[in-house]
Structure 1
Amino acid sequence: MYTFKKEERLCNKRLLDKLFHGGSSFLCYPFRVSWISAPQPQTHPVQVVFAVAKKRYRRAVDRNLIKRRTREAYRLHKDALLYGPLLQNNKQILLSINYIGKEINDFAFMDKRMVKLMVQLCQQADVAAV
């Protein structure tokens, strides 16, 4: 239930290119979200990639800390807020979550923003929330 497996990660270069060049996006500070409907059937309703700009955070330790907190917030809420509505409407999406904040926030703030981000994503993808 609260897992984040390899199959849920977006690694395909062709799909990443399609996502960044033809996808919809919105801002939910400190995240910038890009998404697109999946072109072919997948094993999971969402494939996701997390990114933190090297230009803003030079030290890999800081980038990894931010990605770790973001992944954890995503993992905790994906079943209830994202997978449920998507499975009900038989939709699958590709998702990119970029951290654009100027400072490293604590987990509680990121967790709260991740919930808001998922609700907003469901609205944009025309999926009724649970």
Structure 2
Amino acid sequence: MPQVKLIRAYDHQKVRHNKGYKILVDRLWPRGVSKSELPYEWWLKELAPSNELRSWFDHQDERYPKFKRKYLDEIEANSLSKPVLSFLKNIIKDEDIILIYGAKNEKYNQAVVLKDWLDSNFK
């Protein structure tokens, strides 16, 4: 059964060898990664955390619970969230969705929040 997966942008080989619909979910292009090295179908920067929220979070683990709530509020308020969700519901019928992100912390980042949101809406 297809699922939503997370892969760091810096793990080029893993991104390249995993089959699925690949979506970069960062607002900014990952530092030090050339566009030719990173295979992706869609750069979904429109649903990434706002610059203000991203700057406030600053990848500080203790801020993650509040970051998650604020980011989910941003997603729900975004006019693109429903069309994106509808599109991805069709994709996941046939293949995995791979969310690509640049954060060092694999546990506390926006891709984890987005994956949880997608998973809860795909049920």
Going by fraction, where is strand more abundant, 1 or 2? 1
Q: Structure 1-normalised TM-score?
A: 0.29
